[in-house]
Amino acid sequence: VVAEIERPRSGPMRDIVATIQPDQDDIVRAPLEESVCIQGAPGTGKTAVGLHRAAFLLYSHAERLRRG
């Protein structure tokens, strides 16, 4: 995990599976009704966690979102 985190960041985003921590996964999978605030130092995965949360919510609640 440390080697992956310390690698230079350039180009496309890497797969989060290699580095996601349990507390980050909890944020990604938090209930739809729960607001989350993602804070952290540079390079800690805030953007990746936010994008995966959005994808998780869109996938998990697709029918509800279609109905409005």
DSSP string, 6-46: HS---SSPPPGGGT--HHHHHHHT--TT-------STTSSH
Between 6 and 23, the higher pLDDT residue: 23
CA distance 52 to 19: 13
Between 11 and 48, the higher pLDDT residue: 48
Roughly how many angstroms between the first and final C-alpha of the chain, as a whole number? 40
Report domain extents, the chain: 2-67
What is the reported pTM?
A: 0.72
Which three-class secondary structure state does DSSP give residue 47?
helix
Quick: pLDDT tens for 12-62: 656 677 778 999 999 999 999 999 999 999 988 899 999 999 999 999 999
* Residue 30 Cα to chain centre, angstroms: 11
